[in-house]
Structure 1
Amino acid sequence: MAIILKNLSIVIYMLHSFVSAQIFTTLKHTHLIRNYTNLIMEDSKSQCDVLKKSLSEWSFSTPKLLLLPIDKVESNYIRRNVIGAVFSKVSPTPLKHKISLVSYSKDALINILDMDPSITESEDFTEFVSGNLVLSSSVPLAHRYGGHQFGTWAMQLGDGRAHLLGEYINNKGEHWELQLKGSGMTPYSRDGDGRAVLRSSIREFLCSEAMHYLGVPTSRAAALVVSNDPVLRDQFYNGFPELEKAAVVLRLAPTWFRFGSLELLARQGEVTTLKILTDFIIQEHFPSINPLDEDRYLQMFDEVSHKTLQLVAQWQGVGFTHGVLNTDNMSLLSVTIDYGPFGYLDAYHERYIPNNSDKEGRYCYGRQPEIVIWNLEKLARALSVLLNQERTGQLMEMVKNLQKHANDKLSVVFRKKLGLTTDQPGDLQLTQQLLNLMQETSTDFTMGFCQLGEVQLEHILEPEHTKEKWALETLKKAKTFQTFIEAYKKRIALEPELTESKRQALMKANNPRYVLRQWMAQSAIKKAENYDFSEVNLLLKVLQTPFSYQEEAEEMSYSSPPPCWARHIKVSCSS
Structure 2
Amino acid sequence: MWRPYHVLVFALVAASSFTSVHVLEFCQSTDHDCHSDSHDNKASNSQLSLHTVKSRWNMSVSNLIKDLEQFRVSCKKLIEVFPIDEIRGNFARSVKNCIFSQSIPTPLKGPLRLAAASKDVIEGILDLDEAVTQSDDFLHYASGGRLPSGSVPLAHRYGGHQFGFWAGQLGDGRAHSLGQYTNRKGEVWELQLKGSGKTPYSRSGDGRAVIRSSVREFLCSEAMHFLGVPTSRAASLIVSDEPVIRDKFYNGNVNVERGAVVLRLAKSWFRIGSLEILSQSGEMDLLRKLLNFVIDEHFSSINSDEPDKYLAFYSTVVNETAHLIAQWMSVGFAHGVCNTDNFSLLSITIDYGPFGFMESYNPSFVPNTSDDEGRYSVGAQADVGLFNLEKLSLALGPVLSKQQQNAAKMILNGYARIYQMRIHQLFKAKLGLLGEEEDDGYLIAFLLKMMEDTRSDFTMTFRQLSEVSAQQLHNRNFTQMWALEDLSSHKLFSDWLSIYLLRLSRQLHDRDVDRQHRMKNVNPRYVLRNWMAESAIRKAEMNDFSEVELLHHILSFPFVTQETAEEAGYAARPPQWAQRLKVSCSS
Settle same-fold status: TM greater than 0.5.
yes
Matched with 1:308 is 321
Change (3 A) 1:62 1:153: closer
Shift of 1:49: 9.1
**Cross-structure match for 1:574:** 586
Q: Identify the residue that residue 436 of structure 2 maps to in structure 1.
A: 423
SS in 1 for 2:160: strand
Answer yes or no: is the 8 Å Cα contact 1:226–1:245 preserved in 2: yes
Aligned pairs for 1:458-537 within 5 A: 458-463=471-476, 465-537=477-549
Q: Return structure 1 stretches of 4+ with deviation > 4 angstroms.
A: none
Counterpart for residue 378 of structure 1: 391
User: Quick one: distance in 2 between partners of 1:270 and 1:450?
Assistant: 50
Give the aligned residue type for 2:503: R
Q: CA deviation at 1:266?
A: 0.9
**Counterpart AA for 2:232:** S
Aligned-partner SS, 1:72: coil
* Distance across 2 between alignment mates of 1:276 and 1:425: 48
Task: Give the counterpart letter for 1:474 in structure 2.
Answer: D
Q: Where does 1:271-420 land on structure 2 (aligned, <5 Å)?
A: 271-420=284-433
Structure 1, unpaired ranges of 5+ = 1-44
Counterpart of 2:112, as a letter, is I
Q: Does 1:220 align with 2:230?
A: no
Separation of aligned partners in 1, 2:268 and 2:582? 31
SS in 2 for 1:232: strand
Structure 2 unmatched ranges of 5 or more:
1-57
More helix by share: 1
Instruction: Tell me what 2:6 maps to.
Output: none
Tell me if the contact between 2:71 and 2:149 (Cα under 8 Å) persists in the aligned partners.
no
Q: CA deviation at 1:70?
A: 1.1
1:76 aligned to 56, 74, 90, which one? 90
Question: Are the aligned partners of 1:52 and 1:58 in contact in 2 as well (CA < 8 Å)?
Answer: yes
In 2, are the aligned partners of 1:325 and 1:371 still within 8 Å (CA)? Answer: yes
Instruction: Determine the structure 2 residue equivalent to 1:35.
Output: none
- Tell me, what secondary structure is at the counterpart of 2:393? helix
The amino acid that maps onto 2:144 is: G
109, 132, 135: which one aligns with 2:148: 135
Task: Give the TM-score normalised by structure 1.
Answer: 0.90
Q: Which has the higher contact order (CA 8 A, sep 6+)?
A: 2
Distance 1:49 1:153 in 2: 51
Instruction: Please state whether the residue corresponding to 1:190 is helix, strand or coil.
Output: coil
Who is 2:110 aligned against?
97
Asked if the contact 1:461–1:482 (Cα under 8 Å) also holds between the matched residues in 2, the reply is no
1:440 aligned to which of 453, 457, 477: 453
Shift of 1:265: 0.7
**After superposition, what is the alpha-carbon deviation per residue over 1:294-326, rounded to whole angstroms, capped at 9, x for unaligned?**
111111111111111111111101111100000
In terms of mean alpha carbon deviation, does 94-103 or 357-366 score higher? Answer: 94-103
1:251 paired to 2:233: no
The answer to whether the 8 A contact 1:331-1:337 is kept is yes
Q: Deviations over 1:133-156 (max 9, x none)?
A: 012410000000011101111111
Contact 2:117–2:236 under 8 Å retained in 1: yes
SS at structure 2 position matched to 1:77: coil
Q: 1:255 is aligned with what amino acid?
A: S
2:284 pairs with 1:262:
no
What does residue range 18-167 of structure 1 map to in structure 2 within 5 Å? 50-61=63-74, 63-66=76-79, 67-78=81-92, 80-167=93-180
Query: 2: distance between equivalents of 1:521 and 1:62?
Result: 35
Cα RMSD (Å) of the superposition?
A: 1.5
Structure 2: distance between partners of 1:75 and 1:229: 22
- Aligned positions, number: 528
Q: TM-score, normalised by structure 2?
A: 0.88
Post-superposition shift, 1:426? 3.6
Alignment partners' CA distance in 1, 2:561 and 2:446: 28
| Alpha-carbon displacement from aligned partner over 1:219-255 (angstroms, at most 9, x marks no partner) | 0000000011100000000010100000000000000
CA distance in 2, matches of 1:279, 1:381: 17
The residue correspondences of 1:8-27 to structure 2 (distance < 5 A) are: none
Cα offsets for 1:30-80 (capped at 9, x unmatched):
xxxxxxxxxxxxxxx99x9921011111111352111212111113211x1
Distance 1:331 1:427 in 2: 32
Q: Please state whether the residue corresponding to 1:453 is helix, strand or coil.
A: helix
Q: How much identity, in percent, do the aligned residues show?
A: 51
Inter-CA distance 49–425: structure 2 relative to 1 (3 Å threshold): farther
Letter in 2 for 1:77: F
